[in-house]
Amino acid sequence: MPKALLTGAAGGIGQATAHLLWEKGFSLLLTDVQEEALIRAFPELPAGSQRILLDVTNPSSWKEIAANHSEVDVLIQLAGVMRVGTFIEQPLEEWLLQVDINLHGVAYGSWTFGRLFAERGKGHIINIASMAGVAPIPGIAGYTATKFGVRGLSLALDAELRPRGVPVTVIGPGPVETPLILRELPKPESVYTLVAGGLLKPQAVAQAVWRAIRHRPKEILLPSSKAVAARLVSIFPSLQDVAARTFLKGAVRRRNAYLREGTPSESPS
């Protein structure tokens, strides 16, 4: 039975991914920094799976979990935070938090399990970035920067590790309907996250993870209908202003609709 380790497992994408991988015959190490959130998300576990506390920002925690669970076949890094707001008007602590969890946390996990996988000549690392790591989004400059970093790290690491039997896949979804973004929607700057369309369901990202496990590509962007536009903005940054002007009204309508439906105030990412 293959075994996968998930970070940020208590979040919406983590829960959707866990249930899909159980259906596919995996045993799972479900990790999160919040024990209560893990228990709420997974009150019962199939045989062979475990809930484990993991602070992704602590290299010692990564060292310990790798030493105790060297049998892991796939590392799936889902943990992340997002803080909406104009960059220069946010406290510097918001930047530091996002860098520490979104980028440093992924780097520590990739370094720890990358070494373990390379030593045995097999394994797979799957890192969740964002479409914001391809085309920058105002209002979430800090988040955008960290996801550009995750994408760059993952693609470079794949070039280093794939020849040693360890592919690295980076998945860049558009905004996903989880508390990560829903609790930030009341902030006016959040409207820019919806310029390219509505929110994806967590199950769509879980399916992308499964596709990554099966086919081991370097990168998956979703939805695919938005991927070409994101890549064009990346190549021609001036297109970003055109896109914002063209699609902002639709983004405002979508944001207002989500706000009318209600957003959670306290929930894991």
* Residue pair 157/164 in contact by the 8 Å Cβ criterion: no
Report H helices in 82-129: 92-98, 105-120
Q: Where are the beta strands (DSSP E) in 70-190?
A: 74-77, 124-128, 168-173
Count other Cβ atoms within 10 Å, centred on residue 193: 26
108 is catalytic: no
Please report which residue ranges of 168-238 form alpha helices under DSSP H: 179-182, 202-215, 224-235
SS3 state at 166: coil
Token pair, residue 232, equals 């064009």
Q: How far is the CA of 199 from the CAs of 163, 168, 203, 246, in angstroms?
A: 36, 26, 12, 19
Give the three-state DSSP class for 3. strand
Best CA proximity match to 176, nearest among 10, 7, 6, 12 = 12
The DSSP output letter for 176 is B
Catalytic annotation, residues: 143
